[in-house]
Amino acid sequence: MQDLKIYGISVSGITFSFLPDINPMLQTVVLILTIVYTVIGITQKLRK
């Protein structure tokens, strides 16, 4: 289930980056949060 959340957020970030009418700041925030969430998930898996 955790992997599904990570993939969903990643796909959302990529989708926002392809939409030209979306505010560039929103794109940046979404992509940064996606990267942070993915890194957190990876570090938690490595600790287990």
Sign for the CA dihedral angle at 21, 12, 30, 18 comes to negative
- Whole-number Å distance between alpha carbons of 17 and 20: 8
**pTM greater than 0.95 (yes/no):** no
Residue identified by tokens 């998930």 is: 41
- Whole-number Å distance between alpha carbons of 12 and 27: 10
Pull the structure tokens for residue 5: 């959340």
Model confidence over 3-48: pLDDT tens digits? 788 888 888 878 767 766 767 777 788 899 999 999 999 999 999 8
